[in-house]
Structure 1
Amino acid sequence: MQERAWLAHYPEGIPAEIDLSRYTSLVALMEQAFAQHAGRVAFNFMGKDMSFAELDRFSQAFAAYLQSLGLAQGDRVALMMPNVPQYPVAVAAVLRAGLVIVNVNPLYTARELEHQLKDSGAKAIVIIENFASTLQQCIANTQVQHIVLCSMGDTLGWFKGKLVNHVVRNVKKLVPPFALPQAVAYKDALHKGESAPFTRPQIGPDDIAVLQYTGGTTGVSKGAVLLHRNVIANVLQAEAWYGPMLKGLLAGGEQIISVCALPLYHIFAFTVNMMLSMHIGGKNILIPNPRDLKATLKELSKQRFHTFPAVNTLFNGLAHHPDFDSVDWSHLKVSVGGGMAVQSAVAKLWLEKTGCPICEGYGLSETSPIVSCNPVAGKAFTGTIGLPVPSTDVILVDDDGFAVHGQSGEIAVKGPQVMAGYWQRPDETARVMTPDGYFRTGDIGTMDERGYFTIIDRKKDMVLVSGFNVYPNEVEEVIAQMPGVLECAVVGVPDEKTGEAVKLVVVVNNPQITEQAIRDFCKGKLTNYKHPKLIEFRQELPKTPVGKVLRRELRQSQA
């Protein structure tokens, strides 16, 4: 193990190690928050507050309901919702019932959803009605026996709830027709749970809390097994790293308010927005659709807030929006950029417009997610991914897994936040873990003399679109099924808005296969961000002598 050079450059007051014995489970962490902060607002959604006491009461009722279905400890429950209050209620309920969360991207197609439900073996799903038609298309091929159906207006009170549901269903037409006769409405589930007995299970640090699905180099989406202790460790690491900023606000008795625009099914928001905020008694402003920049800014114009975790695309989109100045940014203390590289031009503009620098961090689903971060009090944009957080070792390794010094290498991470492995895939786990317990990230980086890491390349062929992983194999597999496509390859190319964009290079033997025909073919088979943005037709693809497509050559040929 190398000497941790970064410790000498830690900001004052940040410990080298965190105390992992503070909580035995995420349930213990949440229940302490429910008791300690009962009267405080935990979540705000469309102007309606939910207190910690309400979150406690609702989640216990929902946990009792889940147990009444006959679900046994360790069974998996899928959650497929945007940022609505039912999400944190369901998260707390699933964990309190001793069950395992399977976070699902609500934008998934039926094909993608079916794979995740089958792979995880989920027996129940909590889903918002907007995406129920997707579930209807694939549920027969899964082990799902129980469905809890939510609506946008469930938590907004009788009048506003009815109005919001009417607009969502009939005006905006965001709920395609579906038939799931076995589904139970969210409110009915809560009502049933209130009178059902709740059995408190024994939950320990080594029990599984979350299956967080991530793409694979093979194109197969795999579940990163995050134990209770993995997520707890990352919450405490984030708390320690935010320490200098938190101390000042908390000392003044102020409640930390965060903008929750990143989706809670994404591990960054799950840990940093939801779990860290609960732990410190903070409040989250839930933004259900951050891509609607106008609506997001309208919501933020009614609020004051201190922290804003986001991806480069969102910072950029907001900063360029004409309504940007309708928001009071003066209370913003920390803007954390993650999920994709923060561009220096965006960081410069954000600092000019808000007075708050973007503090770039780095993490992965497999590391719960935070590995490293720039100091939160710094004003200068470093272009690095910062220093490893407390209790974390980061080294650079060569292709054989041996540590390298003074040169670039694959970033490998060891710490209490690193996953237990991939769900039921020991071969894939062995491929990414070194014998001495380091997780190989697939990112190539360098480290300077102060311990700051910089990513210079990606070993994997993954494309990063606005912070979302797109695996070329998966996109290629879908497009290769199109009649008339002889062969195809997918690469990532630089994109001003999204960091990278998906480019398809394709060889066809049918002149009727146009760009539009390919785009139409992808609809319903791939989530939008996986669709090729650029399509190039060629006579042949560059290959190695053994016939392997040279993706690197395709990337380099991009003008």
Structure 2
Amino acid sequence: MTHSADRIARYVAAGWWTEDTIDQLLRVHVAARPGVLAIVDPLDKTTHLDGPIKRLTWAELEADVDRVAGVLHARGVGPGDVVAVQLPNSVELAVTFLAVVRLGASVTPFPVQYREYELAQLLPLSGAALLVTGRDSRAPAGTPTLSWPADLEGADAPAPPPRTAAPAEQVTICWTSGTEATPKGVPRCHYDWLAVESVCTAAPALTAGDVILNPFPMVNMAGIGGVFLPWLRSGAVLVQHHPFDLPTYLAQIAAERVTYTLAPPALLTLLLHQEAILARADISSLTRIGSGSAPLPPPMVRGWQEKHGIAIINFFGSNEGVALLSDPAHMPDPETRARYFPRPGAPGAPVLLDRVSTKLVTPDGREITEPGVPGELRLSGPTVFAGYLPGTAVAEPFDEDGYLRTGDLFEIAGEHGQYLRYVDRAKDIIIRGGMNIAPAELEGLLAGHPAVAESAVAGYPDDVLGEKVCAVVVPKGEISLESVVAFLRDKGIASYKLPERLEIVEALPRSPVGKILKRELKL
């Protein structure tokens, strides 16, 4: 999907979209500060990816990007192609991403936990001609593959021909679970990615003096829009981290003198309550932390600010369109920042939100203008994508006025209607450690279990990951959590989707029209 010529003209005229491109951001820092440190590998990299732990300057990063672009070009990758990438957060992932974009191709990134089941679904949908991976690739047989370090570390090829990217070029196809069993492809170009970046760079006021620790996988909005692109814009140091390991995470904050990072709210709450953990860690360099994906507890946001002098920035968004943020500059009171988002266009809202247009809509289509009435948030603006990859979505994501239907419920709040308050997640998503899990996918697989008559999959709270997966089953034979997990493992699904709890019930709660009422499940 591509943006219409009319939309491009309007947003460029308004100054919301510029002629900047991702490769151009890299080249600016290479030219201005070639010898300055740019990117650092995880401390525990060798447990997840073969090869040495790297620390690259901007000039060294540029040399690696150009070299890998040459190797990819020699394999036939060029403008308009799609390259699948399945790597943990690392220098290699950043180099691969930037090399693919330099060639005018698109990156379709996959979580490292994906196995045969997911890759067999998504590789054909993406149209990827090549998969770049590390150790233990689970790609379907016959998939053209390049591997780090075997095929790419030190490999050489003629430099690709120079080219100038157009900002409307597609650069990624990310994947969102949604409420459907099959993930939906979310294409994005330089224009809308860099509009996302501008919000995520401005909220924490990032500069070249910052050191950014990225614990979120670079497969979706948080990792790419929230960290990777703001790093390229600001010229800060990027410290990679993934998969998440708390001791390593805290050690990197201390060793690299990290000033900004992201963390899920459940982890921030846990650390605040586990004073002994923080007492053994040096977090004195940290000044702010971005969080989101779930409501922020006000005592947590206040606790970090009062005990540690660290401001928590509240983000709300999705792969399809970043929408809202609460930052300490505009909302200094931590409890207000946790509970509310500035309503775009309202007095006192951040200037960057003026380019976002929102409305709340009741189920019968009425637009809500009064406080205290929940409705679906719909939005439009330069951070919103153009539409799903053809063949990956059933429903039209936009309403008749061109607003994105988010599926999330908010209400107008504040004495002057200046805030939006999150009410609930209408989409039936489980968010485990920042990774979206579609219950419909697991329910469809469990329907084939010989001892399952009916099932419903839902999330239950977890102090570290936010949510974990529970399978609620009406049995027709002997069943256990172990047998459910073994059955799903045999299907080749990613391990983070596997249920960690099983509940046996005689019947699933249903509405008068037969819809399963997941809120009535006893979890």
1:135-214 paired onto structure 2 within 5 Å: 135=139, 138-140=140-142, 144-145=143-144, 147-151=145-149, 185-188=151-154, 191-193=155-157, 196-214=158-176
The alpha carbon displacement at 1:517 in A equals 1.3
Residue 276, structure 1, aligned to residue 230, structure 2: yes
- Out of 244, 248, 256, which is 1:303 matched to? 256
How far the C-alpha of 1:48 sits from its partner, in A, is 4.2
SS at match of 2:335: coil
Contact 1:489 1:551 in 2 (8 A): no
C-alpha displacement of 1:384:
2.9
Deviation sequence 1:79-132 (CA, Å, 0-9, x none): 111111001111110000010010100011210122121210211111121x32
Number of the residue aligned with 1:475: 442
**TM-score with structure 2 setting the length:** 0.86
Task: Identify the match of residue 383 of structure 2 among 411, 417, 424.
Answer: 417
Distance 1:385 1:521 in 2: 42
TM-superposed CA distance for 1:350, in Å, is 3.1
Aligned residue in 2 for 1:67: 73
- The code of the aligned residue for 2:166 comes to G
Q: Does 1:293 align with 2:289?
A: no
Name which of 428, 443, 455 aligns with 2:422: 455
Q: Using the alignment, how far apart are the partners of 2:70 and 2:187 within structure 1?
A: 25
- Residues 89-104 of structure 1: matches in 2 within 5 Å? 89-104=95-110
Once residues 152 and 177 of structure 2 are traced to their aligned partners in structure 1, the CA distance between those partners, rounded to angstroms, is 30
Q: What is the CA–CA distance in structure 2 between the aligned matches of 1:352 and 1:109, rounded to whole Å?
A: 44
2:405 to 440, 446, 453: 440
1:34 is aligned, of 30, 41, 66, to: 30
User: Does the 8 A contact of 1:258 with 1:305 survive in 2?
Assistant: yes
**Cα distance in 1, alignment partners of residues 275 and 63 from structure 2:** 40
Q: Which residue of 2 aligns with 1:216?
A: 178
Q: How does 1:78-117 map to 2 (within 5 A)?
A: 78-117=84-123
The CA RMSD over aligned residues, in Å, is 2.4
Structure 1 295/485 Cα, relative in aligned 2: closer, same or farther at 3 Å?
same
1:507 to 2:474 alignment: yes
Displacement of 1:487: 1.4
Structure 1 position 211, deviation (Å) = 0.5
Aligned residues with identical type, % of pairs: 24
**Counterparts of 2:289 and 2:19, CA distance in 1:** 28
Distance 2:507 2:426 in 1: 24
What is the CA–CA distance in structure 2 between the aligned matches of 1:339 and 1:53, rounded to whole Å? 35
Find the counterpart in structure 2 of residue 384 from structure 1.
339
Q: Structure 1 residue 352: deviation in Å?
A: 4.6
Q: After superposition, what is the alpha-carbon deviation per residue over 1:382-415, rounded to whole angstroms, capped at 9, x for unaligned?
A: 3335235431112111225442222211011211
How many residues are matched?
483
Secondary structure of the residue aligned to 1:285 is: strand
**How many Å separate the matches in 2 of 1:88 and 1:314?**
26
1:531 aligned onto 2:498: yes
In the other structure, the counterpart of 2:8 is: none
Structure 1 unaligned spans of 5+: 1-16, 152-183
Tell me the TM-score normalised to structure 1 length. Answer: 0.81
- Answer yes or no: is the 8 Å Cα contact 1:411–1:443 preserved in 2: yes
Contact in 1 for aligned 2:250/2:282 (Cα 8 Å): no
Tell me the CA shift for residue 429 of structure 1: 5.6
The counterpart of 1:517, out of the listed 464, 480, 483, is 483
1:82/1:327 Cα in 2 relative to 1: closer, same or farther (>3 Å)? same
Does the 8 A contact of 1:464 with 1:500 survive in 2?
Answer: yes
Q: Aligned match of 1:371 in 323, 328, 331?
A: 323
User: Is residue 23–residue 232 contact of structure 1 (8 Å, CA) maintained in 2?
Assistant: no
Gaps of 5+ in 2: 1-12, 44-52, 345-351
Find 1:556's aligned residue among 510, 517, 520: 520
SS of the counterpart of 2:423? strand
What is the Cα deviation at residue 192 of structure 1? 1.8
Instruction: Determine the structure 2 residue equivalent to 1:123.
Output: 129
1:527 Cα shift? 2.5
Q: Which amino acid aligns with 2:204?
A: Y
- Structure 1's 18 and 107: CA in aligned 2 closer, same or farther, altered over 3 A? farther
Tell me if structure 2 keeps the 8 A contact 1:362–1:372: yes
Distance in structure 2 (CA, Å) of the matches to 1:549 and 1:507: 15
Residue equivalent to 1:159:
none
- Provide the rounded CA distance (Å) in 2 between the counterparts of 1:112 and 1:500: 21
